[in-house]
Amino acid sequence: MSTVTHDVPRRRVAVRVGRALVDLVLLVVTLAGVAYVVPWALGYDRYVITGGSMSGTFEKGSLVLEQEVPVDDLEVGDVITYQPPADTGVSTLVTHRISSVSTTEDGVRQFVTKGDANPDPDPWKFSLTDGTQPVVQHAVPYVGFALIAMADREVRMFAVGGPAALIALGAMVQLVRGLREPRTKAPTGAEPSAARA
């Protein structure tokens, strides 16, 4: 009799802990989904800082949120993400601060950028062919590491499959518990509260 008495509280604690874990996982997944969708819905482009050239302003692993502005409105001091000219040999996007703006004889605006942590400006001038350009508005430290990790297929499968497996396990536990619990009889003469399908 004492064994049964001790097992019931333990079972209740285990059930509560299990439910709390499932709820926590659901909350984290929901918040991550909202954090991923909301910037896009508000019109922000997202970029991850992968180098150290902007250290002191944006550390490696930061997520920068950028909004499109007309190229004609770009000024010295704006931080932009752009593709350097093809002849530079740089094949990745660069997020640097505009250090100078000039206009060619043809009326084309040319830009020079510099990383805040770099001693010298970038060794190229460039013009922007699109009518708009993303400019950094906000930065969130460390979040970029999670996005970089999510680019890996195995990590993505674990991040999506893990919570799904926990939810499925929680549902199965509740189903088994529902099947194992003794059914209480309705009082005689009372109508059943639900009809069996």
pLDDT of 154 higher than 60:
yes
Reading the block at residue 177, the tokens are 């518990």
Helix or strand or coil: residue 1? coil
Answering whether pTM is above 0.75, one says: no
Contact 68, 82 (CB under 8 A): no
Mean predicted confidence (pLDDT) in 122-127: 95
Lowest-confidence pick of 60-74, 91-105, 121-135, 165-179 = 165-179
pLDDT of residue 11: 73
Write out the two tokens for 16. 């509560």
Q: Tell me what pLDDT residue 191 has.
A: 53
The pLDDT value given to residue 190: 52
Q: Which has more confidence, 171 or 138?
A: 138
Output the pLDDT for position 49: 92
Mean of the pLDDT values across residues 48-53? 92
**Which pLDDT belongs to residue 6?**
59
Q: Which of 79, 149, 62 is nearest to 115 (CA)?
A: 79
197: buried, middle or exposed (CB in 10 Å: 19+, 13-18, 0-12)? exposed
Q: What is the pLDDT of residue 186?
A: 53
Q: Is the pLDDT of residue 65 over 90?
A: yes
Instruction: Give the mean model confidence (pLDDT) for residues 119-137.
Output: 94
Q: What is the pLDDT of residue 98?
A: 97
Average pLDDT on 48-72 reads 93
